Amino acid sequence: MLHKVLGTVLLLGVLAGCTAPLRVCETDADCPGGGVCDPERKLCFSASAEGGACEPACASYQACTLSNVCVPRYTGLEVTPLGGTVVGAGPVSVQARLLVGTGFAENFPGTLNFSVVASDGGTGGTLGAVTASAGVYTTQWTPAGEGEFLLTAAHPEAGVPSTTVRLAVDTTGPAFVVFVPPADAGVSDGGTTYADPEPGFATAWRRDQVVPVEIRTNEPNLDPSTVMVTLRTDAGTAPAMSVTSFAESQSCDAGFCGLAQVNLWVPTFNAFRGPMNLEVQGADKVGNTGTSSGSVNVTRWKWRHDITGATITAAPVLGNTGVVYVGTTNGSDNDGQLLALSPSGRLLWSASGGAVVASPTVGNVQDGGTERIYVAHKKGSVIRVGFYDNSDGGFTAPCTDVNSGSVSVQSSLAFAQVSAASSSETVYGVYTGRGGGTLFAVRPDAESDPLFQCPIVPSVGDVSAPGTMLAAGNAVVFGTSSGALKSFALNSSGVWPAAAQWTQPLSPLKPTSLAAADGVVFGGGNDGSNSKLFEVPLSGVLAPTYFPTSAQMWNVSIGGLPGANAVVGLDTGKLFVLDAADGGALAIDTPGDIIKGAPVWGAGGYVYTAGAISGAIQARQPLENVAWQFEPGSLIEASMNLDCSRLSDGGVSSGMPGVLYAASRDGRVYALVVDSPGLNPSAPWPKYQHDSRNTGNPATPITSCP
């Protein structure tokens, strides 16, 4: 017993003489101050520099301290990928690093032993050759497939602890579910239909809307930043859109739920209605990609307003905030009404003042944001010409009581501000069938006397539908049914002179439409057997230049083709295009149709036409090519109108598609989403009566749609 105790004391004395034990330990991590754990004695010792003479000699993975004690040379073995890492299909780079204790020589072995097995004991895959560099050992692992695997790296000598990490292998890309909610088109109300009546499109999204496309996946390793949605059509592709997770703010029944706000107006869409394709792509954290697809039904239908018992031949006019004003007749031209429709299709007010044959015009914005809508009404044998106040629909008629059943106002009205009263709005028109054709001016701000508020001059010549008038400077220009082009101007007292400023005979040609550009009046007309386009200087000093066509001419507009302005007249079964620069002409077939309304030149190079026989509304780009067509089943004789997209307060919605308004003979007003954000601002005369307000005045600015 004494011998045993003495031996223990001697041993502790030796140990105490070289280094003092610190505490009990299992690993070096249990030893404070950088101490080293003796794995056999389970005691911590202060590390001493290597260089002692240990007997017996230490193993290669041990160091002999100056205290002649063998301690572990390496403090650890780090393996990457770290445990718990998910990796893709191989080869996967595997690296193990031996960490050397402070003050010890490296003495790295030539290699390490790597092994891998599936967590269920199956095959782990293949390992490549091991390369070594300064204690870092690298190999390539090609996994046997998907699943969990145990990867081990160990010192080649027995008895040295090894390191094992658990890794997951994922070789499958994410699977996505695409959900497109149905659009809420709205319920028909007050004669307005919001849902596209085409079967299968009642819940379609409009071309001018943003669709909240929902994306779901149960991929556990998803990289949400890679999930993108792309919108495609047969004609174009929109840039990919990112997906925002809503799992935290909304209910989510999957591992990931996200939302993409898809702008339907971005890609080219050469159809009136149809599907657009949605493509979803995303990747997991190891680079596996997955794709899925869906579709969204899209329509250009915005709304339709039905007016019971009405006939519409007058072109609709737009107010300064996008309100649509429509004049109707009851078919006999002796009764009708004027309606005001909001850009959203809601009936604001209607007034049963009588038939409206001549297209109305809208004045400037007044104090308080109001505007005047100038219109000629006929009810029975009474004609009243005046204006509505858009705020309450009240009608004021400075020109009234023309008591004759044969008198009418058939030609469009024209709007101007003339120097005779600098702040006065002046609107021109002609009573057909009265006094050999009586020219009048409506001047509501003039002195309260019919002589000044409604000055007239008789015997100017009748102007019959679809004749037009235009205002240029302080003058009005119109063509008569007797075959002459005339210009009149109010004098400084605000009354008409007895004679015209100038008269230019066109006989036997009867003008049917007028437009102006660059100081020249362009027009179309016929005499029953001959049809011609003509041009006359606004000064009236030169004789007309004629461009023969093959059949009856209808309304004219002037657009901006590359290199020169083009005048587009309407021929039976053809669009007639005149190059104003060199007089060259082109006839474009419109089989089996007559296009009576003036073509509308929209921004983006589109031209819109409507058929008086087929009723087909067409978008052309270029003029010879029909990009899409809509067949409402109604005949359209009136010229169409085009506006910007509008906000709820009537302001312009920037960067959005435009809205085309068409009115049919059977009393229907259509609002269609088109790709032109309003009229072409570079076109000299882009539509009937020049602008969306139907002023017939080339000085009126074209509404800007930024």
- Of the ranges 375-389, 418-432, 457-471, 500-514, the best mean pLDDT one: 375-389
Q: Please report the pLDDT score of residue 489 as a whole number.
A: 93
Q: Please report the pLDDT score of residue 423 as a whole number.
A: 52
pLDDT above 70 for 538: yes
Helix, coil or strand: residue 596? coil
Q: Please report the pLDDT score of residue 3 as a whole number.
A: 32
User: Residue 612 CB: number of other CB atoms within 10 A?
Assistant: 18
CB 629 within 8 A of CB 273: no
Q: Please report the pLDDT score of residue 48 as a whole number.
A: 62
pLDDT tens column, 325-359: 999 999 777 899 999 999 999 999 999 999 999 99
Q: Please report the pLDDT score of residue 43 as a whole number.
A: 73
CB 562 within 8 A of CB 603: no
Structure tokens at 619: 């978008």
Higher pLDDT, 81 or 89: 81
- The domains of the chain are located at 19-72, 76-102+109-169, 177-299, 302-674
pLDDT above 50 for 8: no
pLDDT above 70 for 665: yes
CB 311 within 8 A of CB 326: no
Helix, coil or strand: residue 14? helix
Q: Please report the pLDDT score of residue 237 as a whole number.
A: 94
- Taking CA atoms, 642 is separated from 567, 635, 645, 676, 705, in Å, by 19, 19, 10, 9, 11
Question: Parallel, antiparallel, or unpaired for β 641-643 and 658-663?
Answer: antiparallel
pTM of the model: 0.85
| Res. 2 pLDDT band, cuts 50 70 90 | very low
Structure tokens at 199: 């079967």
pLDDT tens column, 483-509: 899 999 998 888 899 899 999 998 778
Q: Please report the pLDDT score of residue 400 as a whole number.
A: 78
| Res. 11 pLDDT band, cuts 50 70 90 | very low
Q: Please report the pLDDT score of residue 131 as a whole number.
A: 96
* Cα 64 from Cα 70, distance rounded (Å): 5
CB 454 within 8 A of CB 467: no
Provide the CATH number for the domain formed by 302-674 in this structure. 2.130.10.10
pLDDT tens column, 82-122: 999 999 888 999 999 999 887 888 889 999 999 999 999 99
- Once rounded to an integer, what is the mean pLDDT over residues 655-684? 96
Structure tokens at 599: 């073509």
Q: Please report the pLDDT score of residue 586 as a whole number.
A: 80
CB 662 within 8 A of CB 616: no
Q: Please report the pLDDT score of residue 13 as a whole number.
A: 32
* Cα 564 from Cα 386, distance rounded (Å): 39
Q: Please report the pLDDT score of residue 417 as a whole number.
A: 73
Environment class of 109 (CB within 10 Å of its CB; exposed 0-12, middle 13-18, buried 19+): middle
Read off φ and ψ for residue 557, nearest 5 degrees.
-140, 165
Helix (H), strand (E) at residue 204: none
Residue 280 contacts by C-beta under 8 Å, 6 or more apart in sequence?
176, 178, 215, 227, 228, 229, 230, 243, 291, 292, 293, 294
pLDDT above 80 for 7: no
State the fold for domain 177-299: Immunoglobulin-like (2.60.40)
Structure tokens at 430: 């002609």
* Cα 632 from Cα 636, distance rounded (Å): 9
* Cα 364 from Cα 658, distance rounded (Å): 22
**Residues 500-527 as b or e (16 or more Cβ within 10 Å = b):** bebbbebeebbbbbbbbbeebbbbbbbe
Question: Parallel, antiparallel, or unpaired for β 86-87 and 163-169?
Answer: parallel
Higher pLDDT, 48 or 342: 342
pLDDT above 80 for 19: no
Low-confidence winner among 62-66, 164-168, 633-637 (lowest mean pLDDT): 62-66
Q: Please report the pLDDT score of residue 314 as a whole number.
A: 95
- What is the average pLDDT score of the chain? 88
pLDDT tens column, 556-567: 999 876 555 677
CA 474 from centroid of its chain's CA atoms: 41
- Taking CA atoms, 607 is separated from 301, 367, 623, 640, in Å, by 18, 35, 6, 11
pLDDT tens column, 592-611: 888 999 999 999 999 999 99
Helix, coil or strand: residue 586? strand
Domain 177-299 and domain 302-674 have a common topology: no
Share above pLDDT 90 across residues of the chain, in percent, rounded to a whole number: 60
Q: What CATH architecture is 76-102+109-169?
A: Sandwich (2.60)
pLDDT tens column, 153-207: 999 987 677 899 999 999 999 999 999 999 998 888 889 999 999 999 999 999 9
